[in-house]
A and B are shown apart, each in its own frame.
Chain A
């Protein structure tokens, strides 16, 4: 299933991935190969089959009581930020 480089560009944009132009062809080829391989699923009759999005049947619902718990990791967590302005995270302007 051939995939056009324009599709690679579109999907890469959606995923916020910079793909070097020199690499687009290769990704297109590899994606095409995998998508061609998964085409086999189209042959299966899945009418009336429920989808499985997680294997958790029988699990008891686990809700959290609405009680505040202090977090001791905040300082460490904020310290990991590439750029900060005081206690704010800092990012380039949205244009």
Chain B
């Protein structure tokens, strides 16, 4: 007797639809029904696409009936973070300034998903323009953590993480600039991959910090993560920073055991979090190390001497790029305009009212860091430190095949707990930001739960374009632990969710 549809893996669902054991309509309908029930409580979606999803599913079923061969994600529902453009579908990036905006084109990943016969089910909530670590910076709504509705789902891709955790969709996409996929994945107990910079085209991803942004998958298993990543990666002529080096991942390779694999452990970085590091995280980290030793991996001590400068570096580079990327929201060609009698007034009113506090804070910071007389001391210096941080990772990854480190200093925190202290919020990115600056791939995987029943994730970091290795390492852990297979109460209909 197979599990209910919504608990099945994307891989199994795609196979079932491709072979005709299930219809895409049935699969899509099941997840839509789940979202009907749980999304209102969780605040996962800014815009749902139930009608078009069912239409797409029916089209897929018709094509199968005609004997057509279906793609690798046949009939599999996928949710998209609201900063990924879908033609004709509202795309707000969680910002008032884009209220009602409908892009006239599809993002590259959307084309890829459709080519793989996936079914797009909606646009998920996120921190405004992906700036935040809790999804509390959305101008529209808060999103709740499916494991504890009083907690944040993390951010900025909180909606995409929560929707997969709550079985509203088997797969989703988010974007990761400084940890925005990995951190919410950890908070919600799912997998979250930040691919190598350049592995996935950014065409159609609304820019936050162009040299850091990457679209990444959320899933409930290593294999499903690989399946989705394989569908979206690779060269796109519309993004000259996208790379042919990004190859689809072989699911068979993920099953290979870890004998001979060298796992690098940069222990010193744990001390950077100091008091802030929860004992439950440290304990999970240590037990994972021994688990990997048992699994046949050799543990190598490595160091990332400049990782401690990562937050300072990031909070100069990212806001600087953002201050420029967000200049286009001027009320001239699209978005919400606040009318005034003169142009400058219109600009200032439109942007003053359209952007939220965190976005304004980062625009101010970035503008300051780039302005005359400060560029060398701030932006340029940060770029040089970025060079050192990247070198740290490449050196460590020369001695090892992948690195193991925490992804968050604590499990999910309470809603409103940190929203008044930006710096404290920034400091919680200590483990995710270094890999972002280095441009190397990083994966957050569910490792365990704390006493309060909140998920704890760990992070693997790999060599450029070696996502496969990380997923193989995560898969080995998955085989030994049940962390990934647990489901939050709200996701179970009989538990009546949190009603």
Q: Touching in the complex, A and B, CB below 8 A?
A: yes
**Residues on A facing B (Cβ under 8 Å):** 7-8, 11-12, 14-20, 27, 30-31, 33-35, 37-38, 40-42, 44, 46, 49-56, 58-60, 62, 64, 73-74, 76-77, 80-83, 89, 91-95
**Residue count of chain B within 8 Å CB distance of chain A:** 73
**What's the least CB distance linking A57 to chain B, in Å?**
9
Does B197 belong to the interface (CB within 8 Å)? yes
Bound state CA distance, A14 and B88, in angstroms? 33
B316-337 CB mask vs A (1 if < 8 Å, else 0) is 1000000100010011111111
> Contacts A37-B315, A40-B309 hold; do A52 and B390 have CB atoms under 8 A apart?
yes
Which 6 A-B residue pairs are closest in the complex by CB-CB distance? A18-B352, A55-B439, A51-B383, A76-B104, A73-B104, A82-B337
Bound state CA distance, A77 and B105, in angstroms? 9
| Interface pairs (10), CB distance under 8 Å | A11-B371, A16-B344, A30-B422, A33-B423, A51-B386, A55-B198, A59-B243, A64-B237, A73-B87, A91-B332
Q: Are B342 and A41 in contact (CB under 8 A)?
A: no
Q: Are B360 and A27 in contact (CB under 8 A)?
A: yes
- What's the dominant secondary structure at chain A's contact region? loop
Segment 74-129 of B: residues with Cβ below 8 Å from A: 87-88, 101-102, 104-105
Does B48 belong to the interface (CB within 8 Å)? no
Residue among A8, A38, A53, A76 with the most chain B CB within 10 A? A38
Name the residue of chain B whose CB is nearest to the CB of A48: B384
CB neighbours (8 Å) of A64 from chain B are: 237
**What's the least CB distance linking B245 to chain A, in Å?**
7
Q: Are A17 and B348 in contact (CB under 8 A)?
A: yes
CB neighbours (8 Å) of A20 from chain B are: 352
Name the residue of chain B whose CB is nearest to the CB of A7: B368
Bound state CA distance, A62 and B381, in angstroms? 29
Q: Are A95 and B243 in contact (CB under 8 A)?
A: no
Bound state CA distance, A55 and B426, in angstroms? 23
CB neighbours (8 Å) of B104 from chain A are: 73-74, 76-77, 80
> Contacts A51-B387, A91-B343 hold; do A17 and B355 have CB atoms under 8 A apart?
yes
